Amino acid sequence: MKLKSLASGIALALALGGCATTYTTADGASGADATPLAAVTMVTPPERDPSQLQVLFWSDEQRSARFREMENWFAGHEVPAARQPRALPQGEALPAALAQKIRATMLETNAAGVMVYKNGTVRFEDYALGFTPDQRWTSFSVAKSFTSTLLGAAIRDGFIASLDDPVTRYIPGLAGSAYEGVTVRQLATMTSGVAWNEDYTDPNSDVAQMNRFVVEYGPEAIVAQMRELKREAPAGEKWVYKTGETNLIGLLVENAVGLSLAEYAQEKIVEPAGFENGLFWMVDPRGGNIGGCCLSLSLADYTRMGVFALEGGGDAVPEGWFAEAGDSLVDFGDSGYGYGYQWWTYPGSFGAQGIFGQSITIVPSEGLVLTVVSNWPTATSSENRAKWGAIAAGIAASD
C-alpha cells in the first residue's frame, strides 16, 4: 500500500492560521430528544515554526506524543461529544491465547490501542505508547471512509441527487478540465481515469505538489491543482489511488450541503453513532475540512464508527449504503481484495486504513469490528497489515 495521506497535512504548515470561529449546526434532534446540538468550534493552535509541522520527519518519540494531540499542532474543527453517547458493554474476554497473541502483535507493530467488538460487546481493549481511553489519536486516511459516509448522507438528505451526477454539477470550477464528464460515483471509487502520481518519494509527484498549490492558490488550491491534471483512461475504466480526489469529495459534499464536513459529521456520524469523546478534524485554507485526511478520535469512538457501519448507518445514509460502499466495486485481480466508496475491501470484510497503522476492520458475518491505532516505524508496512489481517481472521473464527 502506498503512502497516502500526508500532503494536505504538510501543506498546513504554510497554509493555516487565522482567527477562531464558532459554527452552529442545525438541530438534528428527533422524537423526544430535542436538546440542541452544541456548537462546532474552530481550534487554532500556538504558532509554530513550519519545520515542526513536517509530519513525515517527526521522530518516533514525537509521533507517539503528537498523534494523540494533533489539535495542538494544526488548526481544525472541534466537534463535541454526542448528546447520548452509545454504550459499549463489556463482554466475555477473548480466549487467553488469542488475547496474548493480540498483545504480542501490539508490541511487534508499535500499536497504541486495540479494541475488539464482537456481537454486541467489547471482548478486548488495551493501550500502549502513553495513549489512554479518553485521548484521541489521528486517523490519516481512515478519514476517507468518514468522508464517504458523509457523501452517502448528502444523497440521503437530497443535497446530491445521484451518484451518477457529473462532478461539475457540484464543483463548477472543474468544468472544462479532465473531470468534465466524470461522475460522483467514479470519484468515489477513484476510477475517474484522470492521471495522478501519489509517490511521496518523488518531489514532482502530484501529491507532493499539493503544498505548492496551497502556497500559490490558498483557498482555491484543490480546484486549481485538479484542473491541471490530464486524462489517462476513459472514466470508469482504471483505478488509481488519489488523495486529491478524496479532497474533491469533501469539497463536493461541503458545496452541496452548505456545511463543513465536521459540522455535517456532527449530525450524521457523531450523534447517531454516539461518540463519547467528540471529534477533531483539520481544516484547509478554505476553512473547510480535509476530506482525505486528518480527523482524530478516541479508540472507542473509532469502534463506534465501525459499529455504525456494521449496523447500516440507520437513517443517516441511504438504505444499504454500507453494503454497497464496502463492496468490491473495483476488484484487484483475483486476490479477493478491492475498493468500494473510499473503503478497502477484503475477503469477507471491509475496512478503513491510514498510514502509520490506523485501521477499522469490519467483518459483517461475525458482527466484528477490530480497531487498531498505531505508530509504525514506517508510514506503510504490508507485513504489519498482514499481521493484523491474521488477527482479524483469528478473532472471527473464535468463540
Residue 33's pLDDT band (cuts 50, 70, 90) = low
The pLDDT of residue 240: 96
The pLDDT of residue 51: 82
Helices (H), 16-141: 60-66, 96-109
Q: Which residue has the cell 509521533?
A: 63
Q: pLDDT digit string (tens) for 354-367?
A: 999 999 999 999 99
Give mean pLDDT, residues 244-259. Answer: 97
* φ, ψ (nearest 5 deg) of residue 249: -60, -45
In a domain, 1, yes or no: no
Which carries the bigger pLDDT value, residue 202 or residue 79? 79
* φ, ψ (nearest 5 deg) of residue 173: -65, -15
Check: CB of residue 206 under 8 Å from CB of residue 197: yes
The pLDDT of residue 10: 37
Which carries the bigger pLDDT value, residue 128 or residue 3? 128
* φ, ψ (nearest 5 deg) of residue 243: -60, -35
In a domain, 2, yes or no: no
* 3-state secondary structure (DSSP) of residue 215: helix
Report the Cα 352 to chain-centroid distance in Å: 7
Paired strand residues for 82: none
Does 20 have pLDDT greater than 50? no
In a domain, 245, yes or no: yes
- CATH code of residue 31: 3.40.710.10
Helices (runs of H) and strands (runs of E) counted in the chain = 13, 14
The pLDDT of residue 211: 79
Which carries the bigger pLDDT value, residue 333 or residue 32? 333
Specify the DSSP class assigned to residue 286: T
Give mean pLDDT, residues 175-181. Answer: 97
Mean pLDDT for the chain overall = 91
Rounded Cα–Cα distance for residues 147 and 145 (Å): 5
Does 17 have pLDDT greater than 80? no
* 3-state secondary structure (DSSP) of residue 246: helix
Question: How many CB atoms sit inside 10 A of residue 232's CB?
Answer: 14
Helices (H), the chain: 7-15, 60-66, 96-109, 142-156, 184-188, 210-217, 221-227, 243-257, 261-265, 271-273, 299-310, 321-325, 382-397
Give mean pLDDT, residues 125-132. Answer: 98
Does 24 have pLDDT greater than 70? no
Specify the DSSP class assigned to residue 316: S
Q: pLDDT digit string (tens) for 255-266?
A: 999 999 999 999
In a domain, 371, yes or no: yes
Q: pLDDT digit string (tens) for 314-348?
A: 999 999 999 999 999 999 998 989 999 999 999 99
In a domain, 158, yes or no: yes
In a domain, 155, yes or no: yes
Share of the chain above pLDDT 70, in %: 91
The pLDDT of residue 4: 32
- Per the structure, the count of domains in the chain is 1
The letter for the amino acid at 154 is A
Rounded Cα–Cα distance for residues 74 and 18 (Å): 12
Does 71 have pLDDT greater than 80? yes
Maximum average pLDDT range among 28-42, 198-212, 283-297: 283-297
Share of the chain above pLDDT 90, in %: 82
In a domain, 341, yes or no: yes
In a domain, 198, yes or no: yes
Query: Which domain covers residue 328, as residue numbers?
Result: 7-397
